[in-house]
Every structure is written in structure tokens, then in C-alpha cells.
Amino acid sequence: MDLEGKNVVYLGGFGGIGKKCVQELLKKQIKGLAIFDLIVDDDLLAEWKKQNPDTEVFYQKVDITQKSDIDAAYKATAEKLGHFDVVVKGSGLLDDRLIELTIQINLVGVINTTLTALEYMDKSNGGRGGLIVNISSVAGLQPTPLMAIYSTSKTGVTTFTRAMASPIHYAHSGVGFITICPGFTNTGILKDIDKKTTFPFYETRMRTVFSKVKGQTVEVCARNIVHAIETAQNGSVLMLELGEIHELDIPNLCNPQLDDCVFVCLS
């Protein structure tokens, strides 16, 4: 999608990846940017507003575990911007010791913020269509024993987003969906990992290996997320690993007779 003149909602815009994505998005002459987050960096927000006088930049405090917050934020954004073209879901928690909160934020939060956004974007409901980008993880592509609950939540994000990308839904709503699966990216989410894993490290080797894994910079990850927003097609699942974008060709495992009724047909 060409981002010039578009309205964007970014959930988690003050997070590690979020801040850099916002900075990249603001380079694209977007018309409006709503940042939904639990936290705010007032100085950074003021700087973004000052540096981008032609873009309406504003913050909405949102706890995505609270449906009332989600509803209020989207309502206020629709009133301020009229409509929104792109919604990026970049909120997240990695802490397997907080089981319910992990699922509430990473999965239920993504589902609720998606379905509420659709109320405004769905062409069959008077919307203009658009693009919803859900940030999963490489841990949402294959089981990750180290953080099994996080991996489960992210696998749910990947599956939910692929299901929402069904051509059946797209033909109805005009809202496309893409799944972004970053690999290790140098933000705070990976710090103190041995306090966040499903179980304490069984052996120091796992810990040694984990602390030695080479991650990508946040800047490169953010640039690739924005590139994906501009170029990816509905249903794309993109792994962003070590500065590269890999479009994943996930096979349809369904009965051909059900192909267009149940599963995404990535034709």
C-alpha cells in the first residue's frame, strides 16, 4: 500500500520496535498517525509532532486487555481522522511466568483490536477497506520450547491473521491482512530471558546459546516492517530475520473440497 496521505494506527508505538516503525512511517508523508499504547514518551511524542507538522500525530492510552479501552481509542481516532487505512498491532509481552497476561495481551488483545478495527474499516459496513498488520514472531511459526506460552500465543496470532486473510473475508471487507514474524531483534523484550522462560534454564548451555544468538537491529526490523506494509499482498506471512525479508510459502493442508470454505487459499 502506498502510505502517502494515509491514516495509520500503531499499537505499541512506544515499544522498542514500535518507536522505530513510527519513525519510518513518519518519513512516508502519512496524513494521520494514532499511537495506541499502555505507556507514552511525552518528549518523543512532542518531537514527532514538531518534526512532522503536516501529519496529525496523537496518542491514545490503551490497555489492550481492556475492551473498553480499545473501543474508546478507535472511536476517538475515527472522530479525529475520519477513517484509518492501516492498523499495525505491535503490542506484546514475553514472560512465560505470566500465563494469562501473555495470552490476554498477545492473542486476545490482537483479536479484539482486530475485530474492533474492522468495525470501522470493513467496506460492507461503510468503511474504506485497508490493511491490518499483525506482528507475530518466529516463535509463532514453530514451537519454541524455551518460551512455550509466548510461542503458543504467537502461533495463535499467525493462525488468526492467516484465517482473517481468507479471500472470502477480503472480498467482503476489502481489508487485507499480513503477518510479520521477526526473529531476534535487539529490544528490551529479550533481556533477563532466564526470568521469563517457561521453566528455569535446565542447563547453562541453553542460556549460553541464547545469550549468543545474533539479533537484528531494531532499525532494520522497522524498515522491513514498513517495506512489507508498502509491498506485501493479502495473506502474506513474512519472516524478518537478520535484516532480510523471507516470504513464507505455507502449504495448504486442507481437503481441496474445503479449500475456499475453511482455509486460506493463497492462490
Ligand X SMILES: NC(=O)c1ccc[n+]([C@@H]2O[C@H](COP(=O)([O-])OP(=O)(O)OC[C@H]3O[C@@H](n4cnc5c(N)ncnc54)[C@H](O)[C@@H]3O)[C@@H](O)[C@H]2O)c1
Query: Which residues contact ligand X (rule: CB under 6 A)?
Result: 12, 14-18, 37-39, 62-65, 90-94, 105, 135, 137, 182, 184-185, 187-190
- Closer residue to ligand X, CB minimum distance, 27 or 61: 61
DSSP secondary structure letters along 45-58: HHHHHHH-TTSEEE
CB-CB neighbours of 175 under 10 Å: 26
Q: How far is the CB of 123 from ligand X (least distance, A)?
A: 28
- Closer residue to ligand CCCCCCO, CB minimum distance, 77 or 158: 158
Residue (of 186, 190, 166, 191) closest to 176 by Cα position: 166
Residue 144 lies near ligand CCCCCCO (rule: CB under 6 A): yes
3-class secondary structure, 234: coil
What the block records as the C-alpha cell of 228 is 512489507
Which of ligand X, ligand CCCCCCO, none does residue 17 bind (CB under 5 to 8 Å by kind)? ligand X
Kindly indicate which of the ranges 26-34, 118-126, 137-145, 256-264 contains the residues binding ligand CCCCCCO, using the contact rule CB under 6 A: 137-145
Cβ(33)–Cβ(8) under 8 Å?
Answer: yes
Cβ(89)–Cβ(138) under 8 Å?
Answer: no
What the block records as the C-alpha cell of 1 is 500500500
Cβ(236)–Cβ(8) under 8 Å?
Answer: no
- Closer residue to ligand CCCCCCO, CB minimum distance, 200 or 256: 200
Q: How far is the CB of 144 from ligand X (least distance, A)?
A: 11
Strand partners, 218: none
Residue 239 lies near ligand CCCCCCO (rule: CB under 6 A): no
- Closer residue to ligand CCCCCCO, CB minimum distance, 85 or 96: 96
Residue 201 lies near ligand CCCCCCO (rule: CB under 6 A): no
Amino acid at 91: S
Catalytic residue among 120, 150, 170, 202: 150
- What sign does the dihedral 49-32-81-169 (CA atoms) show? negative
74 is catalytic: no
Q: How far apart are the first and last CA of the chain?
A: 19
Which of ligand X, ligand CCCCCCO, none does residue 144 bind (CB under 5 to 8 Å by kind)? ligand CCCCCCO
Residue 25 lies near ligand CCCCCCO (rule: CB under 6 A): no
DSSP secondary structure letters along 116-158: HHHHHH-GGGT---EEEEEE--GGGTS--GGGHHHHHHHHHHH
Residues marked active site are found at 150
Give the residues lining the site for ligand CCCCCCO (CB under 6 A). Answer: 94, 137-139, 144, 146, 184, 189
